[in-house]
Amino acid sequence: MIGKDLVSFRDLEKKDVEHYFKMASQMEKNLKSGKKLVKNKVVATLFFEASTRTKLSFQTAAERLGCNVIDFGVAGSSLEKGESLADTIKILDGYADVLVMRHPLEGSVRLAGEMSKHPVINGGDGGNQHPTQTLLDLYTILKEKKKIKGVNVHLVGDLKHARTMRSLLYGLGMFGADVTLVAPRGLEMDPGVIKEVHERFGLKVRELSALDVRGADVLYVCRIQKERFLDPYEAQKVVAEFRITEDALVGAKDDLIIMHPLPKIDEIPASMDESPHARYFEQARNGVPVRMAVIYEALKYKK
């Protein structure tokens, strides 16, 4: 059952995710017709970490639904005078009907949800979870491949620090995809997460330390998450290893699609944007109808 807060992909059951997919495709129709579904509601965005897509697609989704948006800007707020995060949440909870929050501390959004009477949606908490990104990722795979079960997905990059990958592994396990994890040595997925997804969904992953695109239906790439490294020089060393160039795609299936949560830095050169395999900009666009569905559901919550 869809609960008050959406903090982790673990909060969702398969039928909830399928419900969001159905709603998102309905929202795509509403986007075309321009019909507003909501009146007199306020969505607050509180982003304590950099964001382009997540924040703006949530704001766009809220506006397209007919909600008003208030954005809490950290700079210029009373946080600078020393106000606590807890008080900030309580104040925003008094102004808005839904709160969308991103914060560098893992678990912080769960805490915000516990303190808030209104639904809180996680826009990313540290290296932990990014559930709405996973919803739009799975929605994109479903739109492109017409199914998720049995689709051969390679997750490539900094699997140790990327919250998008942790959430997505959970979602892919839930839907029975075939998963290969490709990470530079030292940046592998937390074995605890792999074990959890195996125990919960029976997912057995294949692990590689070098790219091998043969057989892949989806190449899901993420950047090296420099800001989460203790030593920034370590990050620089591995950046060059995992570049998705035309050469790296030799032997790939014709209908391979390349996805990326973005921002992409060096791991995908700009020349790939014209490739028939690239789908990351479509993927980012799918963020709007998917987040419309998430906000719409959250607004149904009765205190």
Contact between 163 and ligand NCD (CB under 6 A)? yes
Contact between 244 and ligand NCD (CB under 6 A)? no
Tokens in use for 267? Answer: 């791991």
Interface residue with ligand NCD, options 92, 109, 119, 124 (CB under 6 A): 124
CA-wise closest residue to 60 among 45, 77, 40 = 45
CA-wise closest residue to 279 among 239, 223, 221 = 221
The contacts of residue 239 (CB under 8 Å, 6+ apart) are 224, 265, 266, 267
Asked whether the beta carbons of 218 and 279 are under 8 A apart, the reply is no
Q: Which is nearer to ligand NCD, 103 or 118 (CB)?
A: 103
Interface residue with ligand NCD, options 53, 103, 166, 279 (CB under 6 A): 53
Contact between 261 and ligand NCD (CB under 6 A)? yes
Q: Which is nearer to ligand NCD, 145 or 260 (CB)?
A: 260
Contact between 222 and ligand NCD (CB under 6 A)? yes
Interface residue with ligand NCD, options 133, 140, 167, 180 (CB under 6 A): 133
Alpha-carbon radius of gyration of the chain: 19
Residue 258: what are its φ and ψ, rounded to 5°?
Answer: -105, 125
Least Å from the CB of residue 224 to ligand NCD: 9
Helix (H, G, I), strand (E, B) or coil at 36: coil
Interface residue with ligand NCD, options 112, 262, 272, 294 (CB under 6 A): 262
Residues annotated catalytic, as ranges: 53-54, 81, 102, 130
Least Å from the CB of residue 39 to ligand NCD: 29
Q: Which is nearer to ligand NCD, 119 or 261 (CB)?
A: 261
Q: Which is nearer to ligand NCD, 2 or 262 (CB)?
A: 262
Question: Please, where are the H alpha helices in the chain?
Answer: 14-33, 53-65, 85-95, 108-115, 131-145, 163-174, 191-201, 232-239, 280-299
The contacts of residue 20 (CB under 8 Å, 6+ apart) are 135, 139, 290, 293, 294, 297
Listed ranges 193-201, 221-229, 242-250, 290-298: which one lies at the site for ligand NCD (CB under 6 A): 221-229
Residue nearest to ligand NCD (CB): 261
Asked whether the beta carbons of 123 and 55 are under 8 A apart, the reply is yes
Residue ranges binding ligand NCD (CB under 6 A): 53-54, 124, 130, 133, 162-164, 222-223, 225, 261-262
